[in-house]
Structure 1
Amino acid sequence: MREQARQRFRPPARRGGRRGAVAAAAAVAVGVMTAGVPPAAFATSRADTVQRSLDALVRTDGLPGALAAVRDRDGRTRSYTAGVGDLATGSKVPEDGQVRIGSNTKTFTAVVVLQLVGEGKIGLDAPVDTYLPGLVRGEGIDGRHLTVRQLLQHTSGLPDYVTYLGGEVRHYEPRSLLDIALRHEADFAPGTQWRYSNTNYVLAGLIVQKVTGRPLPEEMDRRIIQRIGLRHTYFPAPGDMTLREPHPRGYYRESAGAPLRDGTELDPSWGWAAGQMVSTNTDLNRFFTALLAGRLLPAAQLAQMRTTVPAGRPFGSGTRYGLGLVSTPLSCGGVSWGHGGSTTGYETRGGVTGDGRAAHVAVTLQPADKTTTKRVEGVVDRALCR
């Protein structure tokens, strides 16, 4: 979900974290090989760079836990962990544990929309009213003058419903999220600017459901998750507040300097098509690698997805936004493709390159400042450029 969710929406505490355990977390750091790859397959000094970077996030930035998965050009993967997975017990971070992936969900939603474009069922430049007639109306807002492309690229001008959620914790239906947004004036005229808004992807998900006659999660599962074998990825069902497989617990603070609180178990419905999914770093590497390799979209739709415009907050300098896909400059030249996500308890960053390298990093506390976020992003850059 990103910046707005980080500041304005928190679940109730289910149990308090131990402040002293954060310091203790620095003493627990483990790097683990996966996928049957022998240690010799990776240069030790290079692998240590990623491990040291995760250790620093725990030690210097006070993050309870961190985990990463790095895939080389030949498809060999190494997983890393640092810190603790549960502040109450001091247990280790599970290798390649499940996390809430926040706005990485947007890429999944965009892929389904673009698959339907390729099938001739949705037009990228068709008005939203073509699929949801009369639904999108508000002050400066008219679905007859908004296109599907503008939704996917965040150029619609729709206000972000997350800004107005406040601290209320309850179950949200997608239409109620849209209604929250439509009570507010448009940010700008469609197509004239770029601004990140989760409302865009709620509408995109509603269009998928209208066109297919099936729930969005079922379409994601059939078209993406099952198709490329994402064994640890799912869209939580209504009322499903837990993570199904081994996972590090996620934490948040009510305010700066306040003690950490456990936010692992919550109703994620406020994210829906914009940020509700659960996955692992390894599955995210597999997903974005398959996407860039053309295994999920026809060439024409993948080219549209990779057609970008300059992006602003919450993305960094030089970042550009396509259709649910972000390009980020690498320090070693070229770009990586991915998205990233922020949601209560977890922050994920990652990317893949055209030659098959991939890296994703997750931490178990949303960074409170941009400096920490940049350091998380720096781990991804070092992993891809090593």
Structure 2
Amino acid sequence: MRLKGIGLTTAAIAFTVITTTATADAAAREDTLQTALDNVVATGEAGAIAEVRQDGTTWRGASGRARLDRPAPPPLNGRFRAGSVTKPFTATVVLQLVAEGRIGLDDSVEHWLPGLVKGGAGDITVRELLNHTSGLPDPVGALVGDDGLPRDRWRTWTLTELARLSNALPRDPNPPGTHYSYSNNDYILLGMIIEKATGRSFRTEITRRIIVPLGLRGTSLPGANPWLPAPHADGYVTVRRDGRDVTYDMTVLNPTMAGSAGEIVSTTDDLNRFFAALLGGHLVRPDLLRQMTAGDNGFGIESTTLSCGVRIHGHGGGIPGYLTIAFTSTDTRRQVALSINRYRAPDPSPAAMAFLNTAFCPPGPRP
């Protein structure tokens, strides 16, 4: 009996040590993530929020301020404009329609949108819009100035008006399908093709096919509504005027300027849930999902391999006032969604990439 008692006591001590070590490791991990998030804000941004999921655990952090004139941090469950993270949503709907036989990947743009593209689009396919090899120019320069300010933040744009902006710009001289060139116009046209194929707006189709089934309660496509739902952090653009910095609050913005290429409002939790469902095979047919994640630029998905060898898939997004990054590992066991409410001009991308590496790459020796 005495020996058994000693054995139980030893086991209890060992369990306590293991638990304490695991708790300490978790605390150290959280401190490392918080430091990496603080470094993003230290580049000159107003604030940032992030959600990191790893093997069933979730870490949420905030840094900086929700508003420049108040000390409160950005709300962890805050809404934000996610910009081009809209593209994977649009691509998902297109590929669902492909699976239903309503759109063909090799259908021409001219077939769906006759006469819209200057010079004709009979040689440009849906596939080439999805992977940005259409060669069509990007209309962003006509919408946002070099200083990052919208040329008309209150105007309501139709998809047709946005598409026609590109007609005044030169096309890529390379034949369609041969050269990658990122263009928001590709996804404006895809939004229009969704509408032609379904008879409903791209907003309705994304909502009924993705947002509602996944229960993404913080995600919406606001159309011409310029107000960002609460809670949220404010986004800013700072420019030089007459030799001094002038800051503009860009929180209130008519997002139709981005349409099916960049209009979406979301949360870090919702974006992680969306990419987990998408990459987990719950939204798109397996063969089409493989094409979404093929190479570095598939169908609406950007992919990269981090320094530790982890392969991640997702998208980044920028719109005046906000910058978003959302990526998920191939096995969906690790996820990161990061939203930055902007302030000053310095590029936070290196710090954001460092945050991704901190979140995705386990400590210890790397392959």
TM-score range with shorter-chain normalisation? 0.7 to 0.9
**CA contact 1:114–1:297 (8 Å) conserved in 2:** yes
Q: Secondary structure at the match of 2:338?
A: strand
Structure 1 residue 168, shift from structure 2 partner: 3.1
1:174-214 CA-partner distances (Å, limit 9, x unpaired): 11111111122212331221111100000000000000000
Counterpart in the other structure of 1:36 = none
Matched, 1:196 2:173: no
Q: Secondary structure at the match of 2:339?
A: strand
Counterpart in the other structure of 1:357 = 334
Structure 1 residue 367, shift from structure 2 partner: 6.6
Matched, 1:302 2:289: yes
Counterpart in the other structure of 1:5 = none
Which consecutive unaligned segments of at least 5 residues does structure 1 have?
1-38, 309-319
Counterpart in the other structure of 1:328 = 304
Counterpart in the other structure of 2:111 = 130
CA gap 1:41/1:73 in 2 versus in 1, 3 angstroms: farther
Matched, 1:151 2:133: no
What TM-score comes out, normalization by structure 1 length?
0.82
Counterpart in the other structure of 1:31 = none
CA gap 1:235/1:122 in 2 versus in 1, 3 angstroms: same
**CA contact 2:326–2:337 (8 Å) conserved in 1:** yes
Counterpart in the other structure of 2:202 = 216
The one-letter amino acid paired with 2:340 is: V
Q: Secondary structure at the match of 1:137?
A: coil
**CA contact 1:99–1:278 (8 Å) conserved in 2:** yes
**CA contact 2:223–2:259 (8 Å) conserved in 1:** no
CA distance, structure 2, for counterparts of residue 366 and residue 108 of structure 1: 27
Q: Secondary structure at the match of 1:303?
A: helix
Q: Secondary structure at the match of 2:234?
A: coil
What TM-score comes out, normalization by structure 2 length?
0.86
**CA contact 1:248–1:364 (8 Å) conserved in 2:** yes
The one-letter amino acid paired with 2:342 is: L
Matched, 1:281 2:257: no
> Identity over aligned residues, as a percent?
42
Counterpart in the other structure of 2:192 = 206
Match of 1:82 among 60, 63, 66: 63
CA distance, structure 2, for counterparts of residue 207 and residue 40 of structure 1: 52
CA distance, structure 2, for counterparts of residue 206 and residue 366 of structure 1: 33
Matched, 1:266 2:280: no
CA distance, structure 2, for counterparts of residue 367 and residue 338 of structure 1: 25
Match of 1:99 among 73, 80, 88: 80
Match of 1:227 among 187, 203, 213: 213
Say what the alpha-carbon RMSD is for the aligned residues: 1.8
Deviates more, 1:206-215 or 1:360-369: 360-369
CA distance, structure 1, for counterparts of residue 249 and residue 346 of structure 2: 20
The one-letter amino acid paired with 1:101 is: A
CA distance, structure 2, for counterparts of residue 42 and residue 287 of structure 1: 29
CA distance, structure 1, for counterparts of residue 190 and residue 269 of structure 2: 26
The one-letter amino acid paired with 1:276 is: E
Q: How many pairs align?
A: 330
The one-letter amino acid paired with 1:82 is: S
Which consecutive unaligned segments of at least 5 residues does structure 2 have?
1-21, 146-150, 363-367
